Structure 1
Amino acid sequence: MHTNNKISSLGIARNLACTLAVAISAYTIPVVATAQTSASSAAKMEMGANASGDASMKMRKSMDDMHEKMGQMKMTGDVDHDFVMMMRSHHQAAIDMAQVEVDTGKDAAMINAAKKIIAAQKKEIAQFDAWMKKHPMK
């Protein structure tokens, strides 16, 4: 009787081990497949984020360049000339940033706004240039 209990216990243990193995494989196969799909999706999202990140970096660079140029400008003491020089750099940075939006943006309303900004800023830069031509520094 004692031996039959061992055999019976061994059979139950085997059945339990098989059931557990089936349960684990039923769980892990979809998890592995999901992980692979998630990794693929994550890679695609990262590629998209990198493209967006590159565009954002271009915008940041235009701002940094503007700040550097404006920081290096020597103030003349003539507020009109100083204003025109500073605003010209400021407007050029706006054009540069807006062009990144036109080139890489996804939202039609923002792309349209960027196009309007480019046109307006170019017009104002032309006005600044014309003013500077009429009012050269002495």
Structure 2
Amino acid sequence: MALVLSTSTGGDEGNIIIDSGTTLTLLPDDIYTNLESAVVEQVKLDRVDDPNQIFSLCYSITSDDYDFPLITAHFKGADVELHSISTFVKVGDGIVCFAFQSSQIGAIFGNLAQQNLLVGYDIQQNIVSFKATDCSKL
């Protein structure tokens, strides 16, 4: 199942930083709130508190083989499908948390969201490209 988030805010080109040095994906408050609500609506697991008190949305899992809804990030000219490995992070035994957070500093596409993606930067053409890749085989 895919979760697709659209919003009327932040529609300008270049409204997100793609940063391999930032772990989490940071989104403006209104966008994050809508996305978190959509995830909560789709995921039917028991919610738990983050033992590290960092994340607001965490779930109890019974195995490391968890499967959460696909989230599609829309960029101009590209839709990037984000699988569970890119959207949830294990924070303790049997606990995974949503690897996105609300931010008042703008939007950043963090390195967890970039897992298993080759990200290309063509600075002459001002194009960023994404290619799904099994990075464990590189």
TM range (shorter): under 0.3
Q: Which has the higher helix share?
A: 1
Name the structure, 1 or 2, with higher relative contact order (CA <8 Å, separation 6+). 2
